Amino acid sequence: METSEPGRRIFLVFWTCLVQLISVWCSCPMCYCRKLALSCKEVGTLLQLTIKCDKCSYEGLWNSQPFFGKIAAGNILLSAGILFSGASATKVLRVLSHMGVALMSIRSFFRHQKKILFKAVHQLWSEQQLWNLSHLQAERESIICGGDGRADTPGHSAKYGTYTMMELRKNIVIDVQLVQSNEVEGSNHMEKEGLQRSLNFLQNTWNLDIETVITDRHAGIKKWLREHQPHILHLFDIWHVAKSIKKKLLALSKTGGCQALQGWVSSIINHLYWSVVSTPPGLTQLIEDKWKSVVEHIQNRHTGFAGQFQSCAHQPLEGRERQKAWLPPHTKVSTEVEKVLCSKRLLPDIQKLSPDHQTCSVEAFHSLVINFAPKMHHFSFEGMECRVMLAALHWNENGHRAQHTTKDGRKTYSLHYPKRKKGGHVVRKVLEDASFGYVASLLTIVEALCKGEEDDGEIPQPDPGRIPEALAASYEHPNKEDAVRARVTRFNAA
Ligand SMILES: *[C@@H]1O[C@H](CO)[C@@H](O)[C@H](O)[C@H]1NC(C)=O
Ligand SMILES: [Zn+2]
Ligand SMILES: [Zn+2]
């Protein structure tokens, strides 16, 4: 940590240099004789030197590290550094071992996690959640939540699902729920289960008045919210809907007789954003009618529509503007386009598109989670849960500052739909270095927990009943089949 005070700095000291220091500079504190015999013991990264005087047989013990309670500080700090940075313990220990650094075993890392580190993460996360939720409660403003689930997929079926609730006006993560697939009937249900748990926690434990929840169009969630939370306004993220319409239109434009559609796809998508953003709150039928008018527009009809939106909003077309590749009416292409744009399944959802808040920051958060819990690695339930909480601590501290990178290596940008752009969007790069104040807070808690280890009463124990039973198969044989398959594929490819 670049901020550590001088007294806390740690150096890599080579054994030869230490011996040189002792032989050149040290003498027996009793008789000042320079003939000292050293015997050493290693405990992980800690070196314990017993120094004996040849002449007066004085004997002293020197430790290369201070202690937090009974634990050598260097050992617990190494484990803490690994977990809090979201690194892989195996990798980091191997790096150090390749350098020749004296090390603890990976088992010690797991023991540190279980005894100290998980508790520290839980404690800081609950403190922050308490702080943030109390503020929201005190402001007495209704709360706009964005929710989304993320499945981690080692191999084929997801083992854990993470559900994230973000307060979108403040852009902070207010709750994360981890669901293990064997807690529900299969991994398809994890997203709904996560949302239910999160709402239950926010509404019942915190008594928060959640006005709006914005999600994608997950069918199970739609139905559940409608039936069980009728007072919550459930809106959909525009981007998800735009993406699925675009996919359908592009597929259609590749079929026979429909090529003329190709040039219209992006205008149709822009029109979707415009229909939602240009409409005052509450006028949901108007959104739908605006949306449907695009079917008329692309067939070169601009006035005399049925419903609340009777003519196009653009100026009368003049000169070259009239020469567009209009779709001829009553042809296959115009009928098929209308089927896609005005389908019975789609139209009710168009009315429920969210005009101002979207879930893109929840997705950006999920790509941040990957930095703390890479999908290729297996984690225990608690390990995974803590890594998600760490990601949330990081997000809440850094908000818009950190720039995230998606799976395929693209930088993440944030999309904004300012009123002045009338439905157009602007793309903003999310930049600047991240800060790590939460790590400093965590280390303070770790030190206190280590020192209080003897009297267990002080340490908040996470409720053990909360942790679901491990998935036996994947736990004991971590993805062997996948590993073998990957190996075979690689050999075939070569
Ligand atoms: C949330 O809590 C953290 C830590 O307690 C604090 O720094 C941050 O300002 C809070 N954010 C909001 C929006 O309340
Ligand atoms: Zn002596
Ligand atoms: Zn028009």
For 410-433, how does the pLDDT look when each residue is reduced to its tens digit (9 = 90+)? 666 666 666 666 667 766 665 567
147: burial class by Cβ within 10 Å (0-12, 13-18, 19+)?
Answer: buried
Whose atoms come closest to the Cα of 130: which ligand? 1
Q: Is the pLDDT of residue 338 over 50?
A: yes
Residue 303 Cα to ligand 3 midpoint, Å, equals 8
Q: Whose CA is nearest to atom 11 of ligand 1?
A: 132
pLDDT given at position 152 = 75
Query: What is the CB neighbour count within 10 angstroms for residue 249?
Result: 22
Dihedral sign computed on CA atoms, order 446, 447, 450, 453: negative
Ligand 1 nearest atom to the CA of residue 128, by list position: 5
Pocket test for ligand 1, best of 125, 130, 135, 438 (most atoms within 8 A of CB): 135
Most confident option among 91-105, 313-327, 369-383:
91-105
* Top mutation candidate among 123, 124, 130, 132 for ligand 1, by most atoms within 8 Å of CB: 132
Note the pLDDT of residue 376: 80
pLDDT, residue 305, reads 93
Q: Which ligand is nearest to the CA of 124?
A: 1
Q: What is the pLDDT of residue 408?
A: 67
466 CA distance to ligand 1 middle (Å): 26
- Average the pLDDT over 63-84 and give the result: 96
Residue 484: predicted pLDDT: 46
> What confidence tens digit (pLDDT) does each residue in 266-282 have?
999 999 999 999 999 88
pLDDT confidence bin for 478, thresholds 50/70/90: very low
Distance 128 CA to ligand 1 centre (A): 7
Residue 419, Cβ density class (10 Å: 0-12 exposed, 13-18 middle, ≥19 buried)? exposed
The pLDDT, as a whole number, for residue 153 is 66
Give which of 236, 230, 238 is closest to 217, Cα–Cα: 236
Protein residue with least CA distance to atom 3, ligand 1: 128
pLDDT the model gives residue 428: 65
**Quick one: 491 exposed, middle or buried, by C-beta within 10 A (0-12, 13-18, 19+)?**
exposed
Q: How far is the CA of 320 from the centre of ligand 3 (A)?
A: 14
User: Which residues approach ligand 1 with their CB closer than 6 A?
Assistant: 128, 131-132, 135, 170, 172, 396
* 346-365 pLDDT per residue, tens: 999 999 999 889 998 999 99
Nearest by Cα to 210 from 220, 223, 196: 196
What ligand 1 atom has the least distance to the C-alpha of 167?
13
**What is the chain's Cα-based Rg?**
30
Task: Report residue 398: phi and psi, to 5°.
Answer: -100, -15
Distance from the alpha carbon of residue 49 to the mean position of ligand 2, in angstroms: 16
Write down the pLDDT at residue 459.
43
pLDDT higher at 347 or 473: 347
Report the pLDDT averaged over residues 101-123.
97
Model pTM above 0.95: no
247/77 Cα distance (integer angstroms): 49
Ion ligand 2 neighbours (CB, 5 A) are: 28, 30-31, 33, 53, 55-56, 58
Average pLDDT over all residues of the chain? 86
Ligand with minimal distance to 392 CA: 1
Q: Which strand (E) or helix (H) includes residue 139?
A: helix 118-139
- Reply yes or no on whether the pLDDT at 489 is more than 90: no
Ligand nearest to the CA of residue 293, numbered in listed order:
3
Average pLDDT on 248-259 reads 92
Q: How far is the CA of 131 from the centre of ligand 1 (A)?
A: 7
Q: Which residues make beta-bridge pairs with 165?
A: 147, 175
Question: What is the distance between the alpha carbons of residues 50 and 437, in angstroms, rounded to a whole number?
Answer: 38
pLDDT band at 382 (very low <50, low <70, confident <90, very high): very high
- How many other C-beta atoms can be found within 10 angstroms of the C-beta atom of residue 180? 21
> What is the 40 CA–ligand 2 centroid distance (Å)?
19
Residues 148-168 have a mean pLDDT of 81
